[in-house]
Amino acid sequence: MVRGSACGLAPDPSCRRQGGEVSEHDDGGVVGDISPREDEGGRHGATERASGAASGEGGVGEGHNDELRATQRKIAIIGTAPGFEEAPFADESWEIWGLSRLYDRVPRISRWFELHHWENVCKTWTVGEETASARAREVYTSWLETTDVPVYVQEAYVSRCQNGHVYPIDLITRLFKRRYFTNTVSYLMALAIMEHDALELQSTTVGLWGIDMELSESGNNEYGLQRPSLEYFCGAIDFHPSMALYVPQRSSLLKARELYAFEFNAMFFKARQKQTEVKDLKAKAEEQLASAQQIIAGCTGALEIMDWQLNNWPGTEV
């Protein structure tokens, strides 16, 4: 059973594992190889390096560690899909971690992440829109450079930002040895896990708003390549003994139509069969329409020829 938090927005981390305690021998409790498990020395060494970064060396968690240890940390990661506006902006107990070009549409920001090369942000692949794209990139990068919000970027850009911090990619890839990062949100979730363990926090809840990565049968399939990594890190947080994950009901993440092998959704398969029938009917109608249009075009051409012949027939007036 998942209990609601005091603010009613996210599950209570303490109910994710019975007892909710992490023993001194616990290695983080993350399933599989999402965290390194080669040996205890390697694990503790990497954690010590992460702890150093979290306490100020490298900018991760700067200025937060003392008060965070005594609290239940809550992090809202905000994407650009519908539903981002439902994030807990008004609840100051939540940190707001944002990304992409949403910076001018959210009322509050705790940290901002722009991990791309700056020449690729706001980029369009649509011919004729390059000028507008360049203007948007100029406005966005100017905001990154001048905002007081902590901005996490690649090392090459940190000196350009008034409050810039290097995203600790080396630490992250040492801790998460699979290197399964195909999108920005996965990097943010990995950072939340690393800071939680390094700062030895009592609990951390991570919530995702405006993040769907919905798949489509047509168009750009970028989300199809990115979504597995995101759900991989959802599992890492979901099964961490002192962390919790909140995904809004409206999000398509971590949703299954049925329990594979044990459940059968008859209405779904009936609807899919009906969809196939309608598609076939539509295809036949389009084929008939194309054939009819060819006949109409041929008849139109023949009538034009016949009209000319009749109008120009010697000695005949029509």
Indicate if the alpha-carbon torsion angle 226, 228, 233, 237 is positive or negative: positive
Question: Tens-digit pLDDT profile for the chain (318 aa)?
Answer: 333 333 333 333 333 333 333 333 333 333 334 333 333 344 444 444 454 445 444 444 444 555 555 568 999 999 988 899 999 999 999 999 999 878 889 999 999 999 999 988 876 545 566 677 788 888 999 999 999 999 999 999 999 999 999 999 999 999 999 999 999 999 999 999 999 999 999 999 999 999 988 765 545 566 778 889 999 999 999 999 999 999 998 888 888 878 888 877 777 778 878 888 899 999 999 999 999 999 999 999 999 998 888 888 887 665
278 is a domain residue: yes
The overall longest dimension of the chain from CA atoms, in Å, is 112
Q: What is the pLDDT of residues 52-91, one digit of tens each?
A: 445 444 444 444 555 555 568 999 999 988 899 999 999 9
54 & 17 share domain: yes
pLDDT at 93: 94
In this structure, what token pair is assigned to residue 13?
């981390």
The two three-digit tokens of residue 201, written as one number? 């926090």
Residues 85 and 222 in one domain: yes
Q: What are phi and psi of 258, to 5 degrees?
A: -160, 170
Same domain, 292 and 174: no
Specify whether 202 is located in the same domain as 273. no
Do residues 41 and 95 both lie within one domain?
Answer: yes
Element at 74 (helix H, strand E): strand 72-78
In eight-state DSSP terms, residue 11 is: B
Overall number of domains in the chain: 2
Chain position carrying tokens 């990097």: 187
* H or E stretch covering 99: strand 94-99
Looking at the fold, whether 316 and 175 belong to one and the same domain comes out as: no
DSSP-assigned letter for residue 4: B
- Asked whether residue 150 is domain-assigned, the answer is no
**Quick one: 80 and 172 in the same domain?**
yes
Range of the domain at 302: 259-318
CA separation, residue 288 to residues 46, 122, 281, 284 (Å): 67, 44, 11, 6
Pair type for strands 164-166 and 151-153: parallel
Instruction: Look at residue 198 and tell me if it is in a domain.
Output: yes
Residues 175 and 305 in one domain: no
Flag whether 140 is in a domain: no
Tokens of 213: 């990565």
Distance between CA atoms of 68 and 266, rounded to whole angstroms? 49
Q: Tell me which of 225, 246, 267 is where a domain ends.
A: 246
Token pair recorded at residue 209: 């708003």
- In this prediction, residue 60 carries a pLDDT of 44
In a domain, 139, yes or no: no
Based on the fold, state whether residues 177 and 302 are members of the same structural domain: no
Residues 233, 264, single domain; the answer is no
Inside any domain, residue 71: yes
In a domain, 183, yes or no: yes
Confidence (pLDDT) at 123: 66
Residue 136: predicted pLDDT: 87
Alpha-carbon gap, residue 8 to 29, rounded angstroms: 26
Q: Does residue 81 share a domain with residue 225?
A: yes
**190 lies in some domain:** yes
Would you state the pLDDT for residue 13? Answer: 34
CA angle in degrees (0–180, nearest 5) for 202-203-204 = 140
Verify that 100 and 209 share a domain, yes or no: yes
* 219-249 tens-digit pLDDT: 556 677 888 999 999 999 999 999 999 999 8
Give the separation between CA 224 and CA 295, rounded to whole angstroms. Answer: 43
